[in-house]
Structure 1
C-alpha cells in the first residue's frame, strides 16, 4: 500500500459518526492533531436506526455523547437512518468518519461526502467483520487484537483497507483495560488512514475467502458451564466484561443462587473458589441476583 502523503488541509471537513464518548474523543483528537477539521458528530438514540424506536440504553449513550463531547463540536442526535442521512447532506462534509456505529449505512450516506466514508473497525479485517469483533477475539483467548481503517462500501466491513495495526492484550485484562488498548489502536490507524484518503489512495482489497463474522453471542454463551475448562470460563468472563452484549458478566449458578461474574482469576486469591473441569477458578468480583433464570442443573457449582 502506498500513497503520496499530503499536507493536511484545514478546509477538509470531516463529519463523525459514533455512539461512544471515547471513540468520538479519539477521532476528534487525531483529526485536530493532523490539521483536519471535525465539523460535527452524529449519533442515534434508536436501538435499530431503521426502526427509529428509542431505547433506554441508546438514550443513555446519546446523552453521554452530548454531555461529554469535545469543546467546539456539536452532536446531532437522530432517531433513524433517514434523519441521519439528512444531517450528513446538510453538513456536506468532505469525509464521513465512523467508529462504534454498528449498523450498515445506506448508499445515500456513503455517497454524500466528496471523499466517501471511512470506518474504524476493531479487528484484523477480513476476520471478525460485524458488530462484536473484540468480544469474539477475547472469548477465543487471543493474545493479540487487530484494528483496521477501511473505506466503506455497500457491504458490512467489506471495503478496501487503508491502515491496520496489531496490539497485545494481557490474559488477565478485563473490560476497561481492554477498551483502553482498543482506543489507542484506533488512534494509531486513523492518522495514516486520513493521509491516504486525502492523498487519493484507493486502499487494498480484502480477501473475502478469509472473512468471518462476529455477531452477538448466543443465549447459551451467557451461561457459565462449570464442566468446561477454567481457561475457557476465564475468557468467557473477560468477553462479557466488555459490556457490548448489553450486560456485564455471564450468568452462573453458585450453590443454587444466580450470579453475574465480572472478574475471575486463574491463580489463588482471597475469593470464592469453584472447581471447573480441569482446575479451580476464583471469582474475584460477582453480583448476586434475585431468584429466577437459574442455569440448568448441569451448570451448577458449589463454592469452596
Structure 2
C-alpha cells in the first residue's frame, strides 16, 4: 500500500564538492555492530576505508548507559581499531567535525540527519535505501514492496537532504528477486549484502565529482504498512494476486497469515497461483489460491496465538495431498511397513504422503479403491471376483498413488460423484467386495517391503505385523472444518464427520491388544501441525 505524494518544489541541495584525489575520507553512520562491519568491508574493498564509525546514542537500549557501552564495545570489536563515536542527532555534527570527512555513509539511521550534520562532510551524506527512489520513501520499503506484490527489489544510493529519502540519486539498480516466502530474519542479510554492493560504484562516482541526479517529486510514493492488528488477517474477498501479496507480507513481518472459510478460522502457509502436490485450494474473489498449509484454528484465542507464532517451515494441512520433505530420517529406509488407521479427516493421507516423501517409499491410500468400485465396477456390471482385472493401483516412492480403471486414470469427479455416492454403502457393506478390494491391496503390499498404508481396518486386516501401527484421531469439529475446507469448491460433496464409529473403536482396540507398545502409536491431531505429526511418527519408528 503506497501513498502518492503531491509534487512540490524541492530546495536544490548544495552542489557536492569532490573529495581530494581518488581516496575519500569516509565515515560510517549506522546502528548495529553487524552493519558497521558490513559497510566497513565494502568501503575498504572500494579503496575508501572508513576513518570513523558513528552510531546513535542509546539506540534501542532504553536509555541504559551500560547497554549503550556494551553496544559500542561490540561495534569496536568489529571495526578493528577505527574510532567509534556515539552521539545524539543534535551532537552528530560536533562529534564528526574533527574527522574532516568527505563522505558519511549512512544505512538504517533511525531519524533524520540534522542539517548541520548533513553539511559536515565535504561531499555529503550517502544513504542506502531499498527501493527505486522516489518510489517507496520511508522506513519500510521492503515490506511495502512485498505488500504491493512486487517481485523485484531495487536499491538506491543517494545524497541526503533535509527530507526523508529525497536527495540526489548517485546510483540505482535492481538488487534481487524478492523472496517468495520468508521472514525478515531469514531474508534481511541477503538484502543488506545486495544493497551495500552499491557502495563501490557510488563512492567511485562521488570521488570523480558526480553530484547525483535530482529525484522526480511527481513520482514520489511513501511506504505505508497496515495497522499492527491487521497484518496477518487475510481477506479472501480480494483478488488472488492481492491475497498472495498480503500473505507474503504477513510472513515477512514474522506473522502467520490466517483467514476464515465458511465461518471457520484457518492458519495459512505459503501461497501459490497454481495447483501442486500438498496444496489446498482457497477461493478468492477472482480465482483460487493454492496454499501449502491450511490448518484449522479452534477458537479466536488460537487465532491470536497463531499470529504470534510464525512457523519457519511450510507445513501442509492435515487434509492435503503431500508434505514438505523436511523430516528425513538418517537411515535410508523406513524399516518396513507402517499402517495408519483412524476416522476420516484425522490426517491419515497427509501423514502417509509425508512419510512416503521423506523416506522415498510408496504410499497406499485404501479408501479411493472402494470409491472406484462404487463409481465404475457396479455401474458397469463388473462382479467383485473380476475387479482386479479392471482396477489397478499404482504406487510410487514419494509420490501420490494412481488409480487406473481399464488402464485410464480415474477422476475425482467420478470417485465423488453421484454414482459413487449411490453405491459406496453397498461396496463397504458387502463382504465379497471388501475381500476383492483387500486382495488388491494385499498384492500391492506384497510387492513392497517398505510401504505406508492408510485407511480403515488396515492394521488388523492388511498389515497385522507392521513395523509401526498408527491410529490417528481428532476432535469431530476440527475434522469437519478440515473436510469443509478441502471441499470448499465442491459444495455438492456431502460432509459426514461423526465421533469414532464402532469400526474405528474396534481397530483401535485391536492395535492396543495385539501390537507391542514399541510398535504402536496413538495420536490426537486436533491441535497438531502436520510437521509435528510427522516428527512424532518418525520418533516412534523402531531403530
Alignment TM-score, normalising by the size of structure 1 = 0.73
Q: CA deviation at 1:201?
A: 1.0
SS of residue matched to 2:222: coil
* Equivalent residue for 2:270, pick from 264, 273, 277: 264
Partner of 2:242: 232
d(CA) in 2 for partners of 1:121 and 1:72? Answer: 28
| Cα shift readout 1:4-27 (whole Å, capped 9, x = no counterpart) | 9x9742xx3211111245543332
Partner of 1:298: none
Q: CA deviation at 1:63?
A: 7.0
Partner of 1:146: 154
SS of residue matched to 1:291: helix
Q: Does 1:112 align with 2:120?
A: yes
Q: CA deviation at 1:39?
A: 1.9
Q: Does 1:208 align with 2:208?
A: no
SS of residue matched to 1:91: coil
Q: Gaps spanning 5+ residues in structure 1: where? A: 296-300
SS of residue matched to 1:205: coil
Partner of 1:88: 96
Q: CA deviation at 1:222?
A: 1.2
More strand by share: 1
Contact 1:44 1:62 in 2 (8 A): no
Instruction: Say how many residue pairs are matched.
Output: 279
- What RMSD in Å do the two structures reach over aligned CA positions? 4.1
Q: CA deviation at 1:231?
A: 4.4
Partner of 1:15: 27
d(CA) in 1 for partners of 2:114 and 2:250? Answer: 30
d(CA) in 2 for partners of 1:235 and 1:106? Answer: 36
Q: CA deviation at 1:180?
A: 4.2
Partner of 1:36: 48
Distance 1:43 1:242, change over 3 A: farther
Q: CA deviation at 1:215?
A: 3.6
Q: Does 1:172 align with 2:184?
A: no
* Equivalent residue for 2:108, pick from 78, 100, 112: 100
Q: Does 1:249 align with 2:255?
A: yes
Q: CA deviation at 1:112?
A: 1.1
SS of residue matched to 1:66: helix
| Cα shift readout 1:90-113 (whole Å, capped 9, x = no counterpart) | 434221110112421110110111
Contact 1:110 1:116 in 2 (8 A): yes
Alignment TM-score, normalising by the size of structure 2 = 0.44
* Equivalent residue for 2:39, pick from 27, 31, 38: 27
Q: CA deviation at 1:129?
A: 0.9
SS of residue matched to 2:221: coil
Greater RCO structure (CA 8 Å; 6+ sep)? 1
Partner of 2:194: 185
SS of residue matched to 1:138: helix
Distance 1:42 1:65, change over 3 A: farther
| Cα shift readout 1:55-87 (whole Å, capped 9, x = no counterpart) | 9xx97x957963863434454344x32243443
Distance 1:90 1:137, change over 3 A: same
Distance 1:251 1:64, change over 3 A: farther
Partner of 1:275: 282
Contact 1:43 1:77 in 2 (8 A): yes
Distance 1:225 1:184, change over 3 A: same
d(CA) in 2 for partners of 1:294 and 1:152? Answer: 41
